Amino acid sequence: MFHNLALFGKIGVALDAATEQMSRNMQDAWIAFTRSGNPDTPALSWPAYDTNRRATMVWNRESGVVDDPEAERRKMLVREIV
C-alpha cells in the first residue's frame, strides 16, 4: 500500500501483476475512505459493517467482501472472553 511494494524490488523480490493490482485497489479504498468516510471504489464495493451481516473486505488476488469470515473462530473467541 502507498508504494511500499516498490521496496520489495530493492531486495530482489519480484511482484506479479495480481499483487500490484491488489495494492492499487487497497490504496484506492484508503483514499476514498479519507475523502468521504466510505471506502467504495469503482473497482470494489465495500458495504458498511453491521453485526448482522459482518461484511468484511478480504484482500487477496481476488479481493472482495465476505460475510462473517471465520465465524466459528470469532464465536469461539467471544465465548472465551465473555
**1 lies in a domain?**
no
Q: What is the pTM of this model?
A: 0.76
55 inside domain? yes
User: What is the span of the domain harbouring residue 28?
Assistant: 6-81
What pLDDT is stored for residue 8 in this prediction? 79
1 pLDDT above the threshold of 70:
no
Between residues 1 and 10, which one has the greater pLDDT? 10
CA distances to 24, 68, 69, 79, 80 from 73, rounded to whole Å, are 30, 10, 9, 10, 11
Residue 46 lies in a domain: yes
Domain count, the chain: 1
* Within-domain flag for 65: yes
- Assigned domain for 12 exists: yes
pLDDT in tens, 33-78: 999 999 999 999 999 999 999 999 999 888 999 999 999 999 998 8
Q: What is the pLDDT of residue 2?
A: 62
Identify whether 58 is part of a domain: yes
Beta-bridged to residue 56, according to DSSP, are 66
67: Cα within 13 Å, side-chain hemisphere: 4
- Check: CB of residue 75 under 8 Å from CB of residue 66: no
Evaluate whether residue 44 is within a structural domain: yes
Cβ-Cβ contacts under 8 Å for 63 (sequence gap 6 or more): 22, 25, 26, 44, 57
